[in-house]
Amino acid sequence: MYHSEEVRRLAPEMDPLRLGMGWKLEDLEKPKVFIESTFGDSHPGSAHLLKFVDTAAAGVAAAGGRAARYFTTDICDGMAQGHDGINYSLASRDMIANMVEIHNNATPFDAGVFIASCDKGLPGLLMGIGRTDLPAVVVTGGVMEAGPDLLTLEQIGAYSAMCQRGEISEAQLTYYKHHACPSCGACSFMGTAGTMQVMCEALGLTLPGSALLPATSADPGAQAVELAKRGLTARDIVTRESFENAIIVHAAISGSTNAILHLPAIAHEFGIEIDADTFERIHKSAHYLLDVRPAGRWPSEYVYYAGGVPAIMEEVRHLLHLDVMTVTGKTLGENLDGLKVGGYYEKCAEYLKKTGVKKEDIIRPFDAPIGDKGTIAILRGNLAPEGAVVKHSAVPVEMHKALLRARPFDCEEDAIAAVIAHDIKPGDAVFIRYEGPKGSGMPEMFYTTEAISSDPELGKTIALITDGRFSGASKGPAIGHVSPEAAEGGPIALVEEGDLIQIDIPARVLAIVGVRGERKTPEEMDGILKERRAAWQPRPLRYQSGVLKIYSEHAVGPMKGGYMK
């Protein structure tokens, strides 16, 4: 008996209420499929999703089920940038997960179809799926097209900084702003949205080959009904090996550092513990293959043209757990083999031919990678005892080993003003602190990183270090997720003007090694930091009411995923 039927027997008002909103008598005994999407007029990644919802609902009906549409729209990190709206971004992920739990458990269903495109919508839905353990199929909303001359949104931050420095005109910046987003879908670069679409497929929760599509034609509704009939739930599919597969693929695509927040948080909801050390272990010798922006040359719509996630998986196939189950009811290995004979790659090639670009220019062969040391490193030391994250593939080689002077700021606004005004000089380490989950919700430092990386001099001579996080579009010498965060009294709160900061990415070191420009021994630094800690006073919560008060009181640290406990 379906779960919905068991609950229906306990709730005599359920049938009349469903009939009152247009259900037919025969619908009452069908398998019930919950369709949760982030559709809304919130941003291009969600504004088009209603047609995906309706397609899924029609598929459920054709397969003998009855769909119910639920909506929890997501915010846009791009629209939230540059003001305090970005503080709500990470918290919104957990609120979306909460609404999945509430919607499903208040009116139980037998399966779910979950539809989103972007940064917090997809991880929020995945967390909700793990928490409720429904039979579930995820549908990703694809990516937008690039603009003229392959213009993509992540370039706008750099152009804005150039305009503020007088390097381009206001009219030129306006042109770029008016042409960077020509259609719906996730932004066309491998930022957090694109990364999380890939992660959904790598975890086995989407139909094969459906991530990063310019459009979708799959039938997730029918597959959700099939999973309900089989009783194959999300936790039957997603295992530790599934997460290891996702991290292997993450390394191959040079995925967003925000995945180090999202994948551990998602795993936690599935009852699996994944930590930053798992990323470090897998990334350390991984081959980086995808030549896509922000670090590479091409917009992310080209990924599908080159064969999509399956083509990437084929290049790292020998590293993957091919026996993991997926939403097709088949293993990953069976899915990959099936795509070779089903016309999938031929269809992709038709799109690729129109670009004039070769597949190997987009997805490199495993034996000819862009890099062979992964793309992300976990740094530790007396500045980050629990760790910090750097995307070293986007860091100029000159900054892989550096000794810098500390310039601490307690908010991003002051830091970016100093960068734009040229108050920051070569050899400085710009600190932005009290921006972690408990400090202010863990916003992105996107515009500061763009102001630095777009400056020809500063981009190769300074670093940005923060207990906040970065946009998936960020590039340059940026180290984030410093843990413990300043609000918890982590060492980043104790940094003072002129401290010497050692960065050694090959050795995975981030440390305070001197004071006022003078080197100190480790023992001397321990004593100095002990004195500073004794004098440090915790700050009152930045938010004294509302959702960010709740989030800051309950969020775990950045290296654990920033989820609420």
Active site (catalytic) residues: 471
Decide the pairing of beta strands 500-504 and 509-515: antiparallel
Output the CA angle 321-326-328, nearest 5 degrees. Answer: 140
CA distance 49 to 428: 45
Nearest to 130, CA basis, from 104, 159, 163, 164: 104
The three-class DSSP label of residue 328 is coil
Helix ranges (DSSP H) in 3-88: 3-10, 14-20, 50-62, 77-80
CA distance 247 to 283: 8
Output the CA angle 77-78-81, nearest 5 degrees. Answer: 80
Helix ranges (DSSP H) in 357-494: 359-362, 412-420, 437-440, 446-453
Is the distance from CB of 195 to CB of 258 less than 8 angstroms? Answer: yes
The three-class DSSP label of residue 156 is helix
Which own/partner contact pairs does 81-84 have at CB distance under 8 Å and 24+ positions apart?
A: 81/157, 81/444, 81/446, 81/447, 81/471, 82/447
Phi-psi region of 213 (alpha: psi -120 to 50; beta: other; left: phi over 0): beta
Which own/partner contact pairs does 546-555 have at CB distance under 8 Å and 24+ positions apart?
A: 547/88, 547/91, 547/95, 548/87, 548/88, 548/91, 548/440, 548/441, 551/90, 551/91, 551/94, 551/437, 551/441, 552/437, 552/438, 552/439, 552/440, 552/441, 552/487, 553/438, 555/91, 555/437, 555/438, 555/442
Instruction: Output the six-digit token pair for 503.
Output: 């960065």
Exposure string (b/e) for 42-75, b if CB count within 10 Å is 16 or more?
bbbbbbbbeebbebbbebbbebebbbbbbbbbbb
Do you find a cis peptide bond into 294, omega within 30 degrees of 0? yes
